[in-house]
Amino acid sequence: MPGLLCDGRIFSPQQARFDGALVIDGFGARRSIEEMARHVIDVAPPRMALLGHSMGARVALEVYRAVPERVERLALVSTGIHGVQPGEAAKRHALLELGRSAGMAALVDRWLPPMVASGRVTDQALMTPLRTMAIDQGVPVFDAQIQALLARPEVESLLPTIHCPVLVAVGSDDVWSPPTQHRDIAGKISGSTLRIVAGAGHMLPVEAGDALNLAIEEWLALPM
């Protein structure tokens, strides 16, 4: 399950490694995390090993809340559990207004660079596909998804109720959802596994695909 302004392309290294994985190819203009979760529940198989990136991890938690009996495993990648922070709505709406006034490329060119490790910002092999993917989503999708994020459900009380193998993964250089947040998440889920991937930013699935794939393999091998 991808995050804000992402689709299945964010998981290209994982799709290449794990045959038969079902990728939710973006959430389109759905305007709530709960609506996104209902979409996953409708299209997913009866039993699931769920991996969500960023906003997609919040969706994964809502799927677990709704149908815990269907979730065999849960992986929360580059995400957070906090509520809306002071100033967050203003920052998100400023980006939206930039997109409306100057176009989606201008929005993405401001939003994307902090989403990767600072040393990778000039890596065009990484940045060009990410930029194209985000631009392809369009301003209406950004509008819908930030409304979903600004109305996101509370999840901290849900974490201690999770009783399945859980992977919590983050890049060491993620400034959007830093490792401290993920230590907090892992500390609230009994028996969870925390993986901090050196040198990666918020776009962990493509920035360090091999390292995340290894963590996924270990997670899939954990006993139920």
How many whole angstroms separate alpha carbon 11 and alpha carbon 21? 10
pLDDT value for 224: 86
pLDDT value for 15: 97
For the beta sheet containing 193-197, the strands, ordered from the edge strand earlier in sequence to the opposite edge, are 48-53, 71-77, 166-171, 193-197
C-alpha dihedral (157, 215, 218, 24), degrees to nearest 10: 70
Q: Which domain holds residue 28?
A: 1-224
pLDDT value for 169: 98
Interval 121-138: pLDDT, tens: 999 999 999 999 999 999
Interval 6-42: pLDDT, tens: 999 999 999 999 999 999 999 999 999 999 999 999 9
**pTM exceeds cut of 0.85:** yes
Q: Residue 166: give its domain's CATH number.
A: 3.40.50.1820
To 10 degrees, what angle do helices 139-150 and 88-102 make?
170
pLDDT value for 114: 98
Number of domains present in the structure of the chain: 1
Interval 30-80: pLDDT, tens: 999 999 999 999 999 999 999 999 999 999 999 999 999 999 999 999 999
Given the structure tokens 């992986």, which residue do they identify?
Answer: 75
Interval 162-220: pLDDT, tens: 999 999 999 999 999 999 999 999 999 999 999 999 999 999 999 999 999 999 999 99
pLDDT value for 98: 98
Confidence of residue 3 (pLDDT cuts 50, 70, 90): very high
Q: Is 188 exposed, middle or buried (0-12, 13-18, 19+ CB in 10 A)?
A: middle
